[in-house]
Amino acid sequence: MYTKKDIDIFRELLAKDDVLILTHRNPDGDTLGTAFALKRLYENNGKKAWVCCSDKPSSRFEFIIDDFDMENCPFTEQCVVTVDVATAGMLGDRFEGYSDKVDYAIDHHFTNTKYAKKSIIKADASSTGEILWDLIKKTSIKIDKYIAAKLYTAISFDTGCFKFSNVKSHTMIAAADLLKYQIPFEDINRRLFDLSSLEQLKVETEVISSLERYCDNRITVLYLRQRTLLDYGATELDIDGISSIPRRIEGTVVGITLKETVEGFAKVSLRSFDDRVDVSKIAAVFGGGGHKRAAGCLIRDVNFDEDKKNMIAAAEKEWVRIFPDGYFE
């Protein structure tokens, strides 16, 4: 449900000019797709807008940005808008100075800290792309094929090609509406979910061979060391999709992926495949957050081995709390 205040905020932000649109660090399909759709909305109304990000996007998302320079805004911004950014800390190192300068935020994370001066937050939406499409429809704004494709990309990515539990009938209706613009949805989904570099496949094989399972094989833990990347000549951009591996392993209820950072700490992605398990609570133990079914954190305690050990202990503790008598379907 969108309130009159939400609509008023949306109209107000669209009236701005010289707009800097910021994505979250390590950008994904939702933040990028939504950002570039919003950029085109401004341009279609004769306004200037630019998209920037702290980190270079994975090659998986190159088709969204089209060689766009996301490092340098060519004008002095008069307005700052974030999309799909739950906390100011998620802006990344390059834009940490904007933490108190964000004018508007559009987001679908219930963990949003309301850091922006004005926000449109819908935690029941599948994606930020879905929110932007809803706002466009409610304000009767005409869009083009480019905007439709970017919004479809955002929605498809954050729903795992419409396979995740965040998909509702409204999500499917939104996707159907966007298909009316003759967008290349088959190519979009192939680029998002089917293509992998050879280096990525080699790394995934190594990661799968060393996976660990806990709590009667219901918790699957994958870990990736920096030396594995070096062994196979892979980069951070080649491992973007490994956190989705646990969902493909039969019997897995909770998937945990730990990636060793160059500093030796653990970047953790958590996924739940049972509504009774809220992985954001596990992430919160280490200062992270996210959604009930998908969360993450960065553990900087001691070193990767200790961080991994602490994460597994926290996951087992939460598991026993939820299922004291054992897991049941």
Q: What is the mean pLDDT of residues 38-48?
A: 97
Strands 118-121 and 212-214: unpaired
Q: Where are the domains of the chain?
A: 4-193, 199-322
Nearest-Å Rg of the Cα atoms of the chain is 20
Q: What is the mean pLDDT of residues 105-121?
A: 95
* Paired tokens of 124: 């029941």
Q: What is the mean pLDDT of residues 121-130?
A: 97
Fold of 199-322: Diaminopimelate Epimerase; Chain A, domain 1 (3.10.310)
In this chain, the answer to whether the domains covering 4-193 and 199-322 adopt an identical fold is no
CATH of 4-193, one of 3.90.1640.10, 3.40.140.10, 3.40.50.1100, 3.40.50.1820: 3.90.1640.10
Q: What is the mean pLDDT of residues 312-316?
A: 95
Which residues, at least 6 apart from 284, have a Cβ–Cβ distance to it below 8 Å? 295, 297
Q: Give the pTM.
A: 0.85
pLDDT at 301 exceeding the cut of 90: no
Strands 212-214 and 289-290: unpaired
Q: What is the mean pLDDT of residues 205-216?
A: 94
Q: Which amino acid is at 172?
A: M
Burial (Cβ within 10 Å: 0-12, 13-18, ≥19) of residue 233: exposed
pLDDT tens per residue across span 149-202 = 999 999 999 999 999 889 999 999 999 999 999 999 999 999 999 988 888 899
In angstroms, rounded to a whole number, what is the distance separating the alpha carbons of residues 275 and 293?
A: 7
C-alpha pair distances (Å), 3 with each of 6, 15, 138, 187, 314: 5, 19, 11, 35, 39
